[in-house]
Amino acid sequence: MKIIVGIATAGRREVLSETLLHLTRQDRKPDAILVCPSSPEDVDETFAETLSVPVTIVAGERGLTKQRNAILSAIDVGDLLIFFDDDFLPQADFLANTETLFLKEQDIVVATGLVLADGIHGPGIPVNEGLEILARDRAAGTLATLEPVYNAYGCNMVFRLSAIEADGTRFDERLPLYGWQEDVDFCRRLARYGRIVRSGQLRGVHLGNKRGRTSGLRFGYSQVANPLYLLRKGTVSLRWALHLMGSNVAANTIGSLSPQGLVDRRGRLKGNLIAFADLLRGRIDPQRMLEL
């Protein structure tokens, strides 16, 4: 199979270089790596040219959905597309196990892996620590688990390109900047073509680097506006939207009573409230976060 890795990146030049170098150490190397930066300064092209796997820089507009769509449009021929976050370190056998899985299970259209550690929930994980976690995990061995999931986790998503090409599926560009929940929307639109699964043999570490993140206020607005937008589109259920919004608003309310430093809970809660006010006024829209 021809396996292409796509990475949309913003403001993480050094971390991206570490991730690209790590990808060249895969047991089964990618056939191509496509990187779409939000600006030319986001990629050290001189370093990328020294790598053993070809890295192509794809031009695109700023915004996760737009950058991922630019990567999709740049693909000529391929079988599998793996979107990695620029701070995701896959286990060395990730691509090899991906190929085996998609060759064996022809009805799988989307797969995601097991995240061994996720720095998004804290201050972030340094690269060296992430590599140590991977080394310990590989020494311990893995179990061949496979379970159905609602969607792939955005930091590591594997797609069968034939399913995407069936109706030219693209990421919704009305979800701006960080694009929160764009992974859910994209995966649910592909669900009609086959199974969405999580494999215990696809493993990695999400560093959760804090550079390039959306502000607390804007992110809080998206926590309400984006699920409601996807509900109106029909790609998610009412139960899913209410659960997601409720859990985030609750976490922001509790967290705002005792600020957590790296997580701007008060900013997020303010964004939540602005979104609910917009809902009552009948003007809630994901794009509104750009005005905040």
Sign of the Cα torsion 174, 175, 176, 177 reads: negative
In angstroms, the Cα distances linking 63 to 38, 109, 124 are: 7, 25, 22
What are 189-227's pLDDT values in tens digits?
999 999 999 999 999 999 987 665 668 899 999 999 999
SS3 for 204? Answer: strand
In the block, tokens 């979800």 appear at 175
Burial class (CB in 10 A: 0-12, 13-18, 19+), 168: exposed
Rounded Cα–Cα distance for residues 91 and 204 (Å): 5
pLDDT exceeding 70 applies to what percent of the chain?
Answer: 98
Tokens read off for 75: 């693909």
User: Whole-model pTM?
Assistant: 0.92
Rounded Cα–Cα distance for residues 176 and 165 (Å): 23
At residue 195's C-alpha, the angle toward residues 191 and 200, to 5°, is 130
Tokens read off for 178: 């960080």
Alpha-carbon dihedral of residues 228, 234, 238, 242, nearest 10 degrees? -30
Q: In this predicted structure, what is the pLDDT of residue 51?
A: 96
For residue 108, the cross-strand partners are 195
Q: Which helix (H) or strand (E) holds 278?
A: helix 265-281
What are 253-274's pLDDT values in tens digits?
999 988 766 788 899 999 999 9
For residue 114, the cross-strand partners are 203
